[in-house]
Amino acid sequence: MSKLRVAIIGYGRSGRNIHRHLLSQLHDLFEIVAYVDKDQQRQEMIKAENNCVPLSDYTELYGRTDIDFVINASFSHDHAPISIELLKHGFNVLSEKPAAGSADKFKEIMQTSKDTGKAYYIFQQYRFAPSFVKVKEIIGSGVLGRIVQINLNYSNFIRRWDWQTIQGFTAGSLLNTGPHPVDQALDLMGFPDDINVTCAMDRAHTYGDAEDYVKLILRATGSPVLDIEISSCNGFSDYTYLVQGTRGTLKGTTKQLDWKYYIDSEEEARVLIKEPLRNEKGEPIYCSEKLTFHTDKWIAEGDEANDFDFKGLKFYKEFYDCMKGGKPFPITQEQVLKQMRIMEESHRQNEKTINRFITV
């Protein structure tokens, strides 16, 4: 089995702690042949941890023929321009999210990929999270009935003061965290074209000028309502997924899912009654019944218990099959473009609200 040769731009939390960490577990599929980082301290880390000479600028990759694709794990605001330059210089690119700061810029990347004939992908590994895959399976089984609403909760209580809180760095909670739940939401909705976006943002206790609270509601014809929350002010969030259906409910995290549901054939058939309800004595009563609920549970075990590694390794195995075997990749550029448009519209709706809180 031939390996894919990889260059990684950026040796920070993404380049080092995610991509290098994952690829080091897939020695039979991938070989990292170059690391790029301008920071001198990180260059020393690259030397010590990888026994190789780092490059200080991605342009030093130009002209090399021993690289099958480049991972763009640079600063968020550099993702788009660096990806475009890499494509123009003949490299296949796997970009970290957010892929770009606007839908138009992302379309420019898509066009460059088409013009150059080079492959361009975005690292959206949360699509492969075992809990998310299980949620889709349960919904697809029909046991919960028609799905009315799905909540995706990516909240905790946290203060941030790093560069990823600054609008000028293409940052903020929606662009930092949002690509994952928005991608999951679109997948659950079937990637419709007629998406209605309603979004409220706030700058709560971040030290930068970007939002750290996002409430995003997505609606489309024939789809459930998707409620996405990314809050830095929620210290009591006890679920990642909450699915409301006409015959049951699911609630859970990346570690455990619980759901309950009733079966139509086991319950008394009901007909609409227009007169006031009463008991056999003629006394007024509340419209209620005791349904027989069945319960089920999923617990992440084995490899699935390590959600961080599992979804990332699954992404890279799928990516390998795509690059080497020509298998269609499940995360397409068109799907990510829908995501970019939603995030752009969300920022448009909140431009005055967020900028009102900027301190100069």
Residue 22 lies in a domain: yes
Q: In which domain, by residue range, is 192 found?
A: 127-310+338-355
**Which residues make beta-bridge pairs with 71?**
8, 94
Say which residue, 314 or 325, is predicted with more confidence: 314
pLDDT tens digit sequence for 250-300: 999 999 999 999 999 999 999 999 999 999 999 999 999 999 999 999 999
User: In sequence order, which residues have a C-beta less than 8 Å from that of residue 18 and are 6 or more positions away?
Assistant: 73, 312
What pLDDT digit, counting tens, does each position of 117-175 carry?
A: 999 999 999 999 999 999 999 999 999 999 999 999 999 999 999 989 989 999 999 99
360 pLDDT higher than 50:
no
Whether residue 358 is predicted with pLDDT greater than 50 in this model: the reply is no
- Domain containing 93 — which CATH number? 3.40.50.720
* Contact (Cβ atoms closer than 8 angstroms) between residue 307 and residue 298: no
**Kind and range of the H or E run holding 131:** helix 130-141
Q: What is the pLDDT of residues 1-10, one digit of tens each?
A: 699 999 999 9
What confidence tier does 355 reach under pLDDT thresholds 50, 70, 90? low
pLDDT given at position 326: 87
Single residue among 96, 123, 150 that ends a domain in this structure: 123
pTM for this predicted structure: 0.94
How many structural domains is the chain composed of?
2
Indicate whether 249 and 173 sit together in one domain: yes
Mean pLDDT of 329-353: 94
Q: Is residue 302 part of a domain?
A: yes
CB proximity list for 157: less than 8 A, separation 6 or greater: 232, 233, 234, 235
Mark whether 92 and 202 lie in a shared domain. Answer: no
For residues 246 and 190, state if they share a domain. yes
Q: What's the mean per-residue pLDDT of the chain?
A: 95
Question: DSSP characters for 281-300?
Answer: TS-B---------EEEEEE-
55: DSSP letter: B
Lowest model confidence (mean pLDDT) among 36-50, 67-81, 341-355: 341-355
Res. 199: pLDDT tops 70: yes
Q: What is the pLDDT of residue 269?
A: 92
Same domain for 16 and 137? Answer: no
Task: Provide the pLDDT confidence category of residue 352 given band limits of 50, 70 and 90.
Answer: confident
Task: Give the tens place of pLDDT for each residue, 29-68.
Answer: 999 999 999 999 999 999 999 999 999 999 999 999 999 9
Question: pLDDT by residue (tens digit) across 224-260?
Answer: 999 999 999 999 989 999 999 999 999 999 999 999 9
Residue 357 has pLDDT above 80, yes or no: no
Does 275 lie in the same domain as 142?
yes
